[in-house]
Amino acid sequence: MPDTASPQTTGPDAAAGYQPTERTVPTRSRDRAAYDRELVHSILDEAYVCHLGFVRDGSPVVLPTLFGRVGERLYVHGSTGSRPLREAGRTDPGLPVCLTVTHVDGLVLARSAFHHSINYRSVVVHGIARTVTDPQERRTALDAIVDHVVPGRSADSRPADEKELAATAVIRLDLQEVSAKIRTGGPNDEPRDLELPHWAGVVPLAHGYATPLPSNDLNPAIAVPDYIAAL
Side-chain-facing half-sphere of 208: CA atoms under 13 Å: 5
CB 76 within 8 A of CB 174: no
Considering the four listed CATH numbers 1.10.260.40, 3.30.230.10, 2.30.110.10, 3.20.20.150, the one that applies to the domain covering 30-229 is: 2.30.110.10
Q: What is the pLDDT of residues 10-65, one digit of tens each?
A: 444 445 799 999 999 988 888 889 999 999 999 999 999 999 999 988 899 999 99
What is the separation, in whole angstroms, between the first and last Cα of the chain? 40
Q: What is the pLDDT of residues 54-113, one digit of tens each?
A: 998 889 999 999 999 999 999 999 887 777 777 776 777 889 999 999 999 999 999 999
Residue type, 200: A
Q: Which of 8, 33, 31 is nearest to 23 (CA)?
A: 33
What one-character-per-residue DSSP string does 53-81 give?
EEEETTEEEEEEEE-EEETTEEEEEEETT
Q: What is the pLDDT of residues 133-184, one digit of tens each?
A: 999 999 999 999 999 999 999 999 999 999 999 999 999 999 999 999 999 9
Residue type, 51: H
Give the predicted TM-score (pTM) of the model. Answer: 0.87
Question: Where does the pLDDT of residue 2 fall: very low under 50, low under 70, confident under 90, or very high at 90 and above?
Answer: very low
